[in-house]
Copies of this chain bind each other. A is one copy, B any other.
Amino acid sequence: MRGRPRDPDLPARVLDAALAEYARSGWAGFTMHAVAGRAGVGKSSMYLRWPTKEQLLVDAIDAYTRPLVVDHDTGSLRGDVLALASSLLAHFLDPMGWVTVRIAVDAAVESVDLGGFHERIVTKHNDAAQRIVDRAIGRGELPAGVDGRPLLEGLFGGVLLHTLALPPSEHAAARTDLAAHVTPLVDLLLRGVGPAATPAVG
């Protein structure tokens, strides 16, 4: 291989700049020119790696989201689910967190798969949820063979909708008491999963 080697730092610089630009101005105003400028990079170098703007943003989101999935064993199903729900709520209350959803929705509307979004973003969360259910089965909290997907859908989607329906003026307050916002939904779902999983209905 001859010639100048590819700059190994370049992708990281571009991805950071992409997130920063996206956070600053949303999809409108997310321009390749601005990203290139902020990263101190030529546009051609970006198009060499990411064929479209969307691909670039998906990569940036992926890099940002990677350490976000909560997969910590709290010792009980309710504890795990509450922790996951709180983490999701915190995620959605952060403007950056919405990007994941926005990209997913865009992918669904355009009915094109933006650079393997499903495998890389959706599956990642699905797996985390199934691990929580499997741990609960191991503890005897749930019968074997329970399908974790409806629970995940209700949980993930419920938190999403809750945030969506929350007026922006209450976002700050919600960030200080995450559990209060998710507990009703969590308990509703856990009562549905199995009688042992939740305190008795008052």
Contacts and interface: CB of A to CB of B under 8 A. Distances in A.
Interface of A: 26-27, 92, 95, 98-99, 101-102, 104-106, 108-111, 113, 118, 122, 126, 147, 149-165, 167-168, 184-185, 187-195, 201
Counting every copy of the chain, the complex holds 4
Contact of A102 (B105, B126, B158, B162): B105
Contacts of A192: 187-192
Given A185-B153, A185-B154, A163 B108 contact: yes
B102 A109 contact: yes
Contacts of A99: 109
A189 B154 contact: yes
Contacts of A160: 157, 160-161
A162 to B, nearest CB: 5
Contact of A106 (B102, B122, B158): B102
A164 B126 CA distance: 12
A99 B109 CA distance: 7
Contact of A188 (B102, B111, B151): B151
4 shortest interchain CB distances as A-B pairs? A157-B157, A192-B192, A157-B161, A188-B192
A188 B184 contact: no
A31 B7 CA distance: 26
B126 A111 contact: no
A199 B13 CA distance: 56
Contacts of A188: 150-151, 154, 189, 192-193
B108 A150 contact: no
Nearest to A93: B108
A164 B98 contact: no
Contact of A162 (B147, B153, B158): B153
